[in-house]
Amino acid sequence: KQEVTQIPAALSVPEGENLVLNCSFTDSAIYNLQWFRQDPGKGLTSLLLIQSSQREQTSGRLNASLDKSSGRSTLYIAASQPGDSATYLCAVGPIENQGGKLIFGQGTELSVKP
């Protein structure tokens, strides 16, 4: 059974710092991996989607990498800002569901201090 784990559960950094959020999964048979952002009391916003054949995706100050063989993904945030404060969730799409069904980690709550 696929399990997704995110470490750390919470992270506090000063503004301007570069940071890395970690996501690990137990079964490498994935269709894709997605990173989402969730603000308090809100739904999820998709940040980056990495297909199983890709190694990384970039959007602005965000870079996500995928290493299927080791069951790991990282989300790199450059030059963090207070507006980046939110919970970040990763989710994998199992290959047997052709990516439609997602399995989520518990999230990392990020606080960026001015």
Partner 1 sequence: DGGITQSPKYLFRKEGQNVTLSCEQNLNHDAMYWYRQDPGQGLRLIYYSQIVNDFQKGDIAEGYSVSREKKESFPLTVTSAQKNPTAFYLCASSIGTGRYSNQPQHFGDGTRLSIL
Question: Interface residues with partner 1 (CB under 8 A)?
Answer: 4, 6, 9, 31-32, 34, 36, 41-46, 49, 51, 89, 91, 93, 97-107
Task: Tell me the C-alpha distance between 37 and 85, whole Å.
Answer: 9
Q: Tokens representing 101?
A: 């069904």
Minimum Å distance from CB 50 to partner 1? 9
Amino acid at 6: Q
Minimum Å distance from CB 111 to partner 1? 15
Q: What is the greatest pairwise CA distance in the chain?
A: 44
Q: Which is nearer to partner 1, 18 or 58 (CB)?
A: 58
SS3 57: strand
Minimum Å distance from CB 69 to partner 1? 20
